[in-house]
Amino acid sequence: MSDSKEYAPVDEGHRWGRAPRRKPVWTSKLIALAALSLTVLTLWRVQRQGDGIPSLQSEQIAKAAARCDYLAREPGPPPDFHQRTHSDRFDPDTPATLIRRAKIWTGNENGTEIIHGDILLENGLIVDIGHIHKSTIKKYKHLEVVDVHNAWVTPGIVDMHSHMGDDSVPELSGSDDYYTPNAAVAPWARSLDGLNTHDLSYELSTAGGVTTAIVLPGSAGVIGGQAFPIKLRKTKERSPTSLLLEPPININTSFPDLNITPQWRHLKQACGENPVSVFGMTRMDVTWAFREAYNKARQLKESQDTYCSKVASGLTDDLGDFPDDLEWEMLVDVLRGKVKVHTHCYEAVDLDQLMRISEEFQFPIASVHHASEAYLVPDVLKRNHGPKPAIALFASQARYKREAYRGSEFAPRILTEHGFDVVMKSDHPVLNSRYLLFEAQQAHYYGLPENVAIASVTSTPARVLGLGHRVGYIKPGWDAGDLVVWDSHPLSIGATPIHVFIDGISQLPSAHVVLKPSSHQKAPKVPNFDKEAAAVVEYDGLPPLKAKKKVGGRVLFANVTTLFSRDGDEVTEMSLVGSGSEDVEGLGIVLVEDGAIQCIGTEHSCAVSVSRPQHNLEIVDLKGGSISPGLVSFGAPLGTAEILSEDSTNDGDVFDPFVKRVPSVLGDERTLVRAVDGLAFGGRDALTAYRSGVTTAITAPSSTGFLGGLSSHFSLGAEHGLKHGAIISEVAGLHVAVSHAVTSASISTQVAALRRLLLHPGEGPGRDHFADVTKGRIPLVIEAHSADIIATLIRLKKEVESATGHTIKMTITGASEAHLLARELAHADVGVVLKPARPFPLKWEEKRILPGPPLTEDTAISRLVGHGVTVGIGIIESWDARNARFDLAWAGLEAGGKISRKQAIKLASTNLEKLLIGSTRSKDTSDFVAFEGGDLFDLESKVVAVISPLQRSVDLL
């Protein structure tokens, strides 16, 4: 383990013995001067011709002069931009709108200004905010008035990393348009050219408050191509072009239209593993690809500058054409400072390389994306040629590949402390940008200040994109709405838009609004993570995650507000407020011995004393906290994969009998693989989940095909598989998948295979686990999303049951469209595990989702639970296991009172056990988790201990 590094301010120029860096003289200024003198010269020549008619040659020279003049123009809005009376995106059918009684987060004063008042929208612009005088209002004949009753209003969310439209959903083979596989260096490629206007995400993400996104080409290429900011609302023209926000002027001309002020252009680049894997390169090749490309651009730029200096000094005799090249002009604009360069770049080795390119070719990197090691090397990033780059991050997604392994939830706060602009981004559809605000909520939970957290998805990305003059703030003269009215404080979990305006046009005319608890109207008072944030830097991104202390004897939890208990199927909620003696301010205590809860009550009733500590009694002050059942994770390869993209860190995939002959050493396809045999303990996602209250996981063998194998239920905190309590069920359920996603065999072929395996028990010596399924001994867990496939499986269940006379325990996982069969599932006694908990129509089979508020009143969970279906929630990737408690809180809030707190907890505990193992654990073998300062549903609490009767101890974290 390395020691913590001190990042003392260093005079950058003197490091490594380099000469101090000189401020670059912007060539553009020289060119401006040259162009000015040229214009004078040209005018003089024209006058000298006497008749005032310019000769052919002088016309050419004037054209050349204008082109050279253009080189010096700085991109951005014209100086009189805020005198505009209409937005260029105004739609004449839009009524003027008055939003009344709002709590407005304006984005001003570093995100700390909040104005209580009204907002007036007209002609696609915000015309006034604050107290709007009656006389102003009286001027309008038609004014839409929206009273928002003191709700929070923020600027529309700006997503600084999206592939919306280019990697469109549902994913079809005709919609992979987010990069070119034909060239690793493709500065000519334009994301606009692939923008599918039928992507289902526009409407869904708008419903999450996203109003603007920049569509970046994918990160396969070293220079992936040109990116374009869009607004998400549908337009009358229905074209990709009409979605563009401030397109650069040469979008429909080969070279710039000289009459228009240039806008910022955007370029996407990538370092590291992506170009390495897609284009068969190594990191050395990637760097050379950058250098070779920018060297070509520099040569072209130099020839342009030479041309322009000739023009300026009147040496125009054999001038020829202005040197230009469609393939390279974008990179010349990068070198001229007209482009915001956004670079996907993760690790120290790559960030360092990127900064060397920036220095060598003298252009600034506007933003570094993913950047999982940025917080470890802030001084490297300060070497950027120009201001510090913005850092665009995920909140908790990490460890899926080597370069993401050291990603940290504390990066946003650490980078902010180092003075970097931090942006939270979606990489949509990698994360569903509908929930981009959740990234800011998590960043805030782990220590990013409130003002910076809200700015990280609004003003900061707007400013970094060079669009801060019109979006990302609520100010007079800015685009009319883009603004969002929220049902709760934007940093409280589950905050959902009530209204979304884009260009002054209401995008949610009939929102389904859920009443949120009043405590959600202010920012959560988040726990202190200073020590954890310091440790992650000290340990070079890999801080120890094991429990600090394992206590085998007695542990007393004091100042407890609530205890959620569980026994078998049931979860009960017990309030301990008012039960305590005076010493503990009316709160209760919970006494644990050898990892089992012995007594719930008061010092008196439990016969212990806090003030006279006894021998062997560990006291933990929960500060008004709560104890609840350990949660269960399902769906990700927890325990079977450590770094998803690295085979050597994983158990690997089982054989798919549709694709490959099962090797004879395995017998036949009835020899099922058991996950328990491939489990690895102590992985970082597992321990991170454990520290977040998720104490066990049910994992099936990894499979990319029809046949899965036998899942296992195990502890996420155990050191190895022989520890007491490490393995809870060796065999939980039998897993298969029926989906187009897993094999090229048809759906009906997959069902035929399943029918045969269930109806014709195997012969031979081995145990046939399909027979266990038909006899109802273990659940049959089937991954299926489409309602039609689920209906077929319900029929198959009946068919097999009537043939065998036994009842099958069947569970559908994934289940995006299960809500369409809520009644039938309940009737057939088939339960579902929704995976992910909040559905997204990624695939055709998943497209008929029930999106929940504000688009529908019901959520998939509330609809299914309402019909009596047993429902669990799952995840897809291991990093997400830690977020289970946020998913539960969200599910409960969204359901608008249709599911209780107890029911919410069951979704990720007892219900998952019932659905995936076929039975639930008793109280005596269930883990409990102690939260300090709140309960599992809020962002004010922190896990401090895990109480484990199986391990007969308490882990103090």
Ligand X SMILES: *[C@@H]1O[C@H](CO)[C@@H](O)[C@H](O)[C@H]1NC(C)=O
Return the range that interacts with ligand X (CB under 6 A); candidates 15-23, 446-454, 765-773, 916-924.
446-454
| Burial state string for 122-144 with b = 16 or more CB within 10 A and e = fewer than 16 | bbbbbbbbeebeeeebeeeeeee
Distance in Å, CB of 264 to ligand X, minimum: 14
Looking at the Cβ atoms of 585 and 677, the one nearer to ligand X is 585
b/e 870-908 (16+ beta carbons within 10 angstroms → b): bbbbbbebbbbbbbbbbbbbbbbbbbbebbebbbbbbbb
Q: Does residue 827 contact residue 816 with C-beta atoms inside 8 Å?
A: no
Selected from 32, 114, 115, 251, the binder of ligand X by CB under 6 A is 251
* Four-point Cα dihedral 438, 443, 448, 452, nearest 10: -40
Residues 476 and 128: their CA atoms lie apart, in Å, by 5
**CB of 458 or CB of 559, closer to ligand X:** 559
- Among the listed ranges 361-369, 447-455, 467-475, 524-532, the one in contact with ligand X (CB under 6 A) is 447-455
Q: Least separation, in Å, of the C-beta of 187 and ligand X?
A: 20
Looking at the Cβ atoms of 585 and 799, the one nearer to ligand X is 585
Q: Which of 121, 533, 547, 584 binds ligand X (CB under 6 A)?
A: 584
Enclosing H/E stretch for 871: strand 871-873
* Cα distance between residue 71 and residue 36, in whole Å: 12
- Please, what is the minimum distance in Å from the beta carbon of residue 761 to ligand X? 60
Q: Cα–Cα distances in Å, from 167 out to 141, 230, 429, 742?
A: 44, 15, 7, 20
Structure tokens at 514: 């859920």
Sheet strands (E) in 616-706: 617-629, 631-634, 694-699
Instruction: Please give, one letter per residue, the 3-state secondary structure of 293-335.
Output: HHHHHHHHHHHHHHHHHHHHCCCCCCCCCCCCCCCCHHHHHHH
Residue list 181-220, contact with ligand X (CB under 6 A): none
Tell me how far, at minimum, the Cβ of 624 lies from ligand X, in Å.
Answer: 8
Find the binder of ligand X among 449, 852, 933, 934 (CB under 6 A): 449
Give me the least distance between CB of 228 and ligand X, in Å please. Answer: 11
- In whole angstroms, the minimum distance from the beta carbon of 330 to ligand X comes to 17
Which residue among 585, 647, 677, 719 contacts ligand X (CB under 6 A)? 585
Binding characters for ligand X, 388-417, by CB under 6 A (x = yes): ----------------------------x-
Q: Is 533 in the site for ligand X (CB under 6 A)?
A: no
DSSP letters spanning 800-817: HHHHHSS---EEEEE-TT
The amino acid at residue 123 is: N
Q: Is 558 in the site for ligand X (CB under 6 A)?
A: yes
Indicate whether 451 belongs to the interface with ligand X (CB under 6 A). Answer: yes
Element (H, E) at 437: helix 436-445
Which residue type occupies 141? Answer: K
Rounded Cα–Cα distance for residues 500 and 147 (Å): 14
Q: Does 343 bind ligand X (CB under 6 A)?
A: no
- Residue whose C-alpha is closest to residue 896's, from 937, 854, 868: 854
Q: From the list 227, 610, 789, 832, which residue makes contact with ligand X (rule: CB under 6 A)?
A: 610
Closest separation in Å from C-beta 504 to ligand X = 20
Choice between 115 and 619, CB closer to ligand X: 619
# binding residues, ligand X (CB under 6 A): 15
Whether the CB-CB separation of 778 and 732 falls below 8 Å is answered with yes
CA max distance for the chain: 112
Contact between 621 and ligand X by CB under 6 A: the answer reads yes
Q: Which stretch binds ligand X (CB under 6 A): 6-14, 245-253, 494-502, 892-900?
A: 245-253
In angstroms, what is the minimal distance from the CB of 622 to ligand X?
8
Q: Are 628 and 931 in contact (CB under 8 A)?
A: yes
* Closer residue to ligand X, CB minimum distance, 12 or 585: 585
Listed ranges 119-127, 247-255, 421-429, 878-886: which one lies at the site for ligand X (CB under 6 A): 247-255
Verify binding: residue 247, ligand X, rule CB under 6 A.
Answer: yes
Identified binder of ligand X from the candidate list 110, 136, 261, 807, rule CB under 6 A: 110
744 in contact with ligand X (CB under 6 A)? no
User: Which residue's CB is nearer to ligand X, number 317 or number 582?
Assistant: 582
Nearest distance in Å: CB 580, ligand X: 9
Query: For ligand X, which stretch binds (CB under 6 A), given 168-176, 178-186, 246-254, 402-410?
Result: 246-254
480 Cβ contact partners less than 8 Å away, ≥ 6 residues apart: 87, 97, 121, 122, 123, 124, 125, 126, 501, 503, 504
Regarding 258 and contact with ligand X (CB under 6 A), the answer is no
Beta strand 631-634 with 694-699 is parallel
Least separation in angstroms between residue 649's CB and ligand X is: 37
Among 559, 602, 695, 941, binds ligand X (CB under 6 A): 559
Based on the shown chain and the rule CB under 6 A, indicate whether residue 562 belongs to the binding site for ligand X. Answer: no
Specify the residue, 257 or 668, whose C-beta has the smaller distance to ligand X.
257
For residues 272 and 281, what is the distance between their CA atoms, to the nearest angstrom? Answer: 9
Among 114, 349, 619, 791, binds ligand X (CB under 6 A): 619
CA distance 956 to 494: 29
712-715/727-729 β-pairing: antiparallel
Interface residue list for ligand X (CB under 6 A): 110, 247, 251-252, 416, 449, 451-452, 558-559, 584-585, 610, 619, 621
